Amino acid sequence: MKRKLAAGNWKMNGTGADLAELARLVSAHPDPACEILICPPATLVHRAAGLSQGGTLKIGGQDCHAAQSGAHTGDISADMLRDAGASHVITGHSERRQDHGESDAAVRAKSEAAIAAGLVAVICVGESLEQREAGQTLAVIGSQLEGSIPDGITGDSVVIAYEPIWAIGTGKVPTVEQIGEVHGFMRDRLAERFGRSVAGAIRLLYGGSVKAANAAEIFAVGDVDGALVGGASLTAEDFSPIVAALEASS
């Protein structure tokens, strides 16, 4: 059966002292009924993986280069993340699409590299406020899915995260109807391209201002298989109730 996924993206936050939060998280969920993934900054991936207690807690990167190695100063390859103990990597987060000009083609190439290295690619899509207000949400999501997801994926090799840009870090959350509409659309699009059985096995996460107070209502939406959480994943105190809400919905 498909395991739901509670994922935390620490973004550019955290130094060694914050690893204590991971130890707290692991002890709060020794035998979780869902998967738990934390994507700390690259500097902490190796140490975080050492705390993962036989794999109960999965550790991921926040980005990877599309190439295996080479003259790319400051970049990190999927193989390097894997070597450091990561099992997942986020690709195509809107902050990378915006801050680093990453196109759908670049996100696809990174996702291919991740899968080739044996990592699960957590591929992010999401519309801007202008696009939503112009009624373009489904068209934008459809073309991001088409351009960013590699061919030949399996239900295990990718996770898709729907993160409306206007909901990230703003405290604004789409209605459950809006989340359900996009997630249902994504499932249908994936089924058209990869077939019903692969599409049904892919975890679809919602991300954008998920907190303990709204988690249960979001997890009750059809086709929501978990969350990608930013700010509320930085401490065990904030993230643990979100994990518990997902466990309760599993």
Q: Kindly list the residues in this chain that would bind ligand 13P in the complex (CB under 6 A).
A: 9, 93, 163, 168-169, 207-210, 228-232
At closest approach, how far in Å is the CB of 133 from ligand 13P?
Answer: 19
Closest CB 194 distance from ligand 13P, rounded Å? 24
How far is residue 233's CA from residue 241's CA, in Å, rounded to a whole number?
10
Q: Are 54 and 42 in contact (CB under 8 A)?
A: no
Which position has the token pair 């000009």?
Answer: 101
**If we measure between CA atoms, which residue out of 232, 197, 177, 170 comes closest to residue 8?**
232
Rounded to a whole number of angstroms, the minimum distance from the CB of residue 231 to ligand 13P is: 4
User: Nearer to ligand 13P by C-beta: 169 or 222?
Assistant: 169
Nearer to ligand 13P, 191 or 216 (CB): 216
Nearer to ligand 13P, 169 or 195 (CB): 169
Spatial separation of the C-alpha atoms in residues 168 and 161, rounded to whole Å: 12
Please identify the residue of the shown chain whose CB is closest to the bound ligand 13P: 230
Please identify every residue annotated as catalytic.
93, 163
Q: What are phi and psi of 2, to 5 degrees?
A: -65, 125
Alpha-carbon distance of 92 to 31, in angstroms, equals 31
